[in-house]
Amino acid sequence: MDAIYRTQRHFYDLTRKYYLLGRDRLIRHLSPPPGGSVLEIGCGTGRNLIVAARTWPDARFFGIDISEAMLETARAKVAKAGLTGRITLAQGDATAFDAQALFGIREFDRVFQSYTLSMIPDWQGAIREAAAKLAPGGRLDIVDFGQQNGLPALWRKLLFAWLAKFDVSPRADLRKVVETIGQGNGLETDFLSLRLGYAWTARLTRR
């Protein structure tokens, strides 16, 4: 991942803003409790964490990413935003990480994954790991590419071919997997299609 992002990280946010739809909607609906903890898995350049920290000033924010190159950029952006005291970053694998060792906190009130599952080979494992980190009353929010069901077939073909060049694979079974993991862990699940299936959102809630 460092090899992929060593160069891309410098213009990543500028290009992704035009097609990673649904990220800001997810952030607007996070609604962490006062003093609550929020973890982003696959935080990349830190863009989402910075927006979220400004949107929810009473919460504490944490982020992990497997790419140290991306984290280098994220740390610089967080510092420039003056949010070093509210956002803590660490290197970690989305499919297996020790939150207690990384952050001194075992469970989180909110966890989110934004356009990461389509890039993680063991994406099902990443969802299970995220769900396992939820505190009582906690919630996992996911947004990623959908299957473009309501859009022209040619659009879908061209988009998927373009994404494949960056090792991005939209997960056709996302809803089924989310529901299976939810049922197996006693979590409530919700699923929503955005913009004619361009993006999918999912939510798992621990009661």
Please write the tens of the pLDDT for every residue from 106-165. Answer: 999 999 999 999 999 999 999 999 999 999 999 999 999 999 999 999 999 999 999 999
How do residues 6-15 score in pLDDT, each as one tens digit? 444 444 444 4
pTM: 0.91
CATH topology of domain 2-205: Rossmann fold (3.40.50)
Q: What is the DSSP letter of 181?
A: H
Domain ranges for the chain: 2-205
How many Å apart are CA 33 and CA 105, to the nearest integer? 16
Phi, psi (deg, nearest 5) at residue 78: -65, -45
Q: What are phi and psi of 150, to 5 degrees?
A: -95, 5
Strand 134-145 and strand 87-91: pairing? unpaired
